[in-house]
Structures are given as structure tokens and as C-alpha cells.
Amino acid sequence: MKKKREKEEGFRDITSFFAEEERPTKPVKSAVNIDKIERLVHDYISSRGSVTKSELYKWVKERRLPLADFYKALRSLLSRSEIKKEFSGEREEIVYTV
């Protein structure tokens, strides 16, 4: 009777976690090349002269760029001093300039 119940209910014993189960994997999104994003961000900022943080984030979302890759590209540009990050008193916001 016990074995019948195990089959019907999908019973698992206390050591069942040792058995490896195949779990469905999620498809991995293809990452956009960070160098390409760096060039896009640099070109956008240089074309506008200076861009506020909120304007830059809106631009990234409109282009549907991955935010994690955008942050990596932005950090890379800042560390190489290709762009500068400043606080603008008149705009009362962080501004990125070339």
C-alpha cells in the first residue's frame, strides 16, 4: 500500500535531494558588446555637449540597452577620463560632459 501511495503522490524520501534533477534552463540573452555601448554613449554625450543623468537614462531606455552593460560602459568611460561627471548647480543634477 505504501508503494502505491508513493507513486500516486510523487512521494520523496529524506535523501531525495542527493539525486540530481534536470531543471529547465532559461535562455541566455545575447549580451550587447560593451565597446559598442561605450561608443554610443560617448557619441551621444559629445553630440549634446552635456547630458543630465536623467536624460542619459531615458536615452538608454529608449534604445532598450541592457542597464548592466550601460553601467559597465559608463564606469569604463569615467575611469579612462573620456567623459566627466559633475554636479550642475543650475540644473541641480549630475551632468556628464566630454
Report the distance separating Cα 49 and Cα 81, nearest Å: 15
pLDDT at 33: 82
How many C-alpha atoms does 42 have within 13 Å on its Cβ side?
A: 15
Q: Note the pLDDT tens digit of each residue in 28-70.
A: 454 548 899 999 999 999 999 999 999 999 999 999 999 999 9
Its pTM surpasses 0.75:
no
Q: Which domains does the chain have, with CATH numbers?
A: 31-98 (1.10.10.10)
Look at the chain and count its residues: 98
In this structure, how many other beta carbons lie within 10 angstroms of the beta carbon of residue 20? 6
Pair 56, 96: CB distance under 8 Å? yes
Provide, rounded to the nearest whole percent, the portion of the chain with pLDDT above 90: 63
For the packed helices 34-48 and 53-62, what is the interaxial angle rounded to 10 degrees? Answer: 130
pLDDT at 14: 78
